[in-house]
């Protein structure tokens, strides 16, 4: 059945209410803002890691993730721009598997609006988080046992070149509530006027 209408600020997708409730009921747990992001490597094998939820973009359901442009996930996403989020809330026993497309916004992106979103995400991050992007390249051999951490960063200056914003476009949401033994599947499609329409199907857990 068709519910929810377009994914705009006035009519958010129906799964957003479930996610908002889960985030609220688990907010006292620091790790509730962490989820797993799976991508596909160039060799066809899965790659998974834990990332931090950086909020939704204004007025839509696109999920934001900050990352280092030197990490392997960037190459993986450029090879295959699809991924899946797995988000489990331990307090309420709820799981969200969100399947969709990922957009990479780094220094090479020429879209002004996307660069503004990247800059906004940079400034909403803590100074400690920003300093991580000045460190040595991830996954390269350690050259010194105690690498220097004396990096200086102007808190008023915009994002460094290694800072990258990932924008995740949800296309399907698989919701499982273990306490209620309930499973809901939300699928998106485009209407004739190109707006996003979400359909809900109740399935076996």
Domain of 14, CATH number, reads 2.30.110.10
Predicted confidence band at 86 (pLDDT cuts at 50, 70, 90)? very high
Domain annotation covers residue 9? yes
Contact 205, 176 (CB under 8 A): yes
**What whole-number percentage of the chain has pLDDT above 70?**
92
68-87 average pLDDT score: 97
Are the CB atoms for 5 and 196 separated by under 8 Å? no
| Residue numbers of the domain that contains 189 | 2-136+155-203
Least confident of 8-22, 91-105, 164-178: 8-22
Residue 141 lies in a domain: no
Domain assignment of residue 149, yes or no: no
pLDDT grade for 3, boundaries at 50, 70 and 90: very low
Is residue 150 one of the residues assigned to a domain? Answer: no
pLDDT band at 89 (very low <50, low <70, confident <90, very high): very high
Domain-located, residue 148: no
Token pair recorded at residue 65: 């993730």
Can you tell me whether residue 80 is helix, strand or coil? coil
Residues 15 and 24: their CA atoms lie apart, in Å, by 14
Token pair in block for residue 58: 């204004």
Band of the pLDDT at 94, cuts 50, 70, 90? very high
Residue 26: enclosing H or E segment and its boundaries? none
> Between 1 and 100, whose confidence is greater?
100
On the question of pLDDT at 10 being above 60, the answer is no
Cα-only R_g, the chain: 18
In a domain, 125, yes or no: yes
Burial readout 130-159 (b: 16 or more C-beta within 10 A, e: otherwise):
beebeeeeeeeeeeeeeeeeeeeeeeeeeb
User: pLDDT for 129-144, tens place per residue?
Assistant: 999 999 999 988 887 7
Question: Are the C-beta atoms of 123 and 79 separated by less than 8 Å?
Answer: no
Determine, yes or no, domain membership for 26. Answer: yes
Give the pTM.
0.89
Phi, psi (rounded to 5 degrees) for 123: -75, -20
Number of domains composing the chain: 1
The band of 155, judged by pLDDT with boundaries at 50, 70 and 90, is confident
- Residue 93, domain member (yes or no): yes
Q: What angle do CA 29, 30, 31 make, to 5 degrees?
A: 95
């Amino acid at each position: 059945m068709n519910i929810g209408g377009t994914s705009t600020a006035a009519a958010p997708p129906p799964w957003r209410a479930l996610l908002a409730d889960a985030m609220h009921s688990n907010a006292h747990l620091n790790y509730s803002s962490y989820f797993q992001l799976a991508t596909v490597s160039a060799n066809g094998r899965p790659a998974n890691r834990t990332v931090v939820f950086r909020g939704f973009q204004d007025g839509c359901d696109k999920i934001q993730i900050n990352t280092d442009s030197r990490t392997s996930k960037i190459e993986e996403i450029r090879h295959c721009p699809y991924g899946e989020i797995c988000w489990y809330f331990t307090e309420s026993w709820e799981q969200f598997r969100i399947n969709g497309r990922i957009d990479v916004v780094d220094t090479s992106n020429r879209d002004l609006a996307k660069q503004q979103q990247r800059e906004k995400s940079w400034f909403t991050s803590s100074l400690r988080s920003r300093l991580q992007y000045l460190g040595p390249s991830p996954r390269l051999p350690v050259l010194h046992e105690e690498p220097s951490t004396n990096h200086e960063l102007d808190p008023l200056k915009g994002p460094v070149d290694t800072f990258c914003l990932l924008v995740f476009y949800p296309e399907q949401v698989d919701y499982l509530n273990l306490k209620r033994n309930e499973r809901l599947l939300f699928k998106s499609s485009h209407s004739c006027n190109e707006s996003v329409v979400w359909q809900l199907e109740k399935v076996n857990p």
